[in-house]
Amino acid sequence: MKINLMDFSCEELKKLATELGQPAFRGKQLYEWIYKGAESFDDMTNISKEFRQKLDEIAVIGNAKISEKYVSKIDETRKYLLELDDGNFIESVLMKYEYGYTICVSSQVGCKMGCRFCASTLNGWSRNLSPGEILSQVLCVQKDLGQRISNIVMMGIGEPLDNFDNVLKFVELVNAPGGLNIGQRHISISTCGLADKIRILAEKNLQITLLISLHAPDDERRSGIMPVNNRFNISELMSACDYYIEKSGRRISFEYTLISGVNDNLEEADVLAGLLRGKLCHVNLIPVNKVKETGFDKSSRKRVDEFRNRLEKRGISATVRREMGSDINAACGQLRNRKSNIPTE
Ligand code: SAH
């Protein structure tokens, strides 16, 4: 198997160059070409032909390639189905906000977590993405857009903390000043609640934003829609969150997707408020995206507002997440499923 140069930091590429009998600055040149969007070694005109041939034998620039692209006419949101070197497909979504462009990237091919409302997990998990494959989503979409992407959310296909080391390496890569130079405060990682990994993440002293997919305020209901709750229950999850807040000093955001008749009673808002009372946190409410197989429907707009008001009344700050790209609606995982002939809508 060839190595993927996108997995390497600038320092690592310099080391690689010297190991291949080249001066270290060749590694820096390689690095610059990769971030300039070079797709093959032929593009690298300031590197000798001999060295390019050598690289071609042992390495690839493991770029994701655009297979399908949908652009919303309402808000310019773009959804991409990307093909990896081994023929697997993943999805990335680009959103435009006042403060710049945000990309939502995938961390795995498929997902093991089994959340009942989620399309990404319907066909299970195939493999982890390498750090370079996560990075290549940003580079590929940025090249297509022709403008700088300033924020990253890891909310695409997969569970980032189930691919812990590669996700951390990815954060290091996008953070690098000579590369994309995206600050940690502009990076969010969303997890379904792997409490053991949240504790390890807390030790890393990062400035990233942690998002927790909570979706229900008590164990019975949460286990009913999120099997991960049988591994780490709400009390274990909350204690890991407290530890994270204490260590990082950063506010945590709790994601709560509102599903009609499942988790959207106002009494559940009360229990949720009790659970989060006193925590440095915020709640994002998201009307569930319909995925045919799951049979779940979104809560009414009225109920969403009532739920939010109830939380606010009890002192918990909450916002309703704006739905974006609703005319190209393909909730996470649906494009990939269709491409892989896994029936969805
Ligand atoms: N595995 C991570 C990140 C990927 S999912 C996690 O669970 O957080 C990103 C977010 O989308 C999560 O909050 C997830 O619960 C939510 N989500 C998944 N399917 C959804 C759907 N059909 N409608 C609304 N949100 C959904």
Place 331 in a pLDDT band, splitting at 50, 70 and 90: low
User: Side-chain half-sphere of 38: how many Cα atoms within 13 Å?
Assistant: 20
CB 342 within 8 A of CB 121: no
Which amino acid would we find at residue 260?
A: S
What is the best residue among 197, 211, 226, 255 to mutate for testing ligand 1's pocket, by most ligand atoms within 8 Å of CB? Answer: 255
Q: What is the pLDDT of residue 274?
A: 97
Q: Which residues line ligand 1 (CB under 6 A)?
A: 113, 115, 117-118, 155, 159, 190-192, 213, 255, 257, 286, 288-289, 291, 331-332
Q: How far is the CA of 32 from the centre of ligand 1 (A)?
A: 35
Coil vs helix vs strand at 128:
strand
| Distance from the alpha carbon of residue 14 to the mean position of ligand 1, in angstroms | 38
Is 39 a residue of the active site? no
Residue with tokens 């939502």: 104
pLDDT digits (tens, 9 = 90+) for 30-81: 999 999 989 899 999 999 999 999 999 999 998 899 999 999 898 889 999 9
91 is an active site residue: yes
pTM over 0.75: yes
Secondary structure tally for the chain: helices H, strands E = 11, 14
pLDDT tens for 282-298 read 999 999 988 878 889 99
| Interacting residues of 237 by C-beta distance below 8 A, sequence separation 6+ | 193, 195, 198, 212, 214, 229
Instruction: Please give the distance of CA 81 from its chain centroid, rounded to a whole number.
Output: 15
Cα 157 to Cα 8, 82, 175: the distances in Å are 23, 12, 22
Residue whose Cα lies nearest atom 7 of ligand 1: it is 192
Rounded to the nearest whole angstrom, what is the distance from the C-alpha of residue 155 to the centroid of ligand 1?
7
pLDDT band at residue 332 using 50, 70 and 90 as cut-offs: low
pLDDT in tens, 201-239: 999 999 999 999 999 999 999 999 999 999 999 999 999
Instruction: Name the catalytic one among 10, 91, 104, 192.
Output: 91
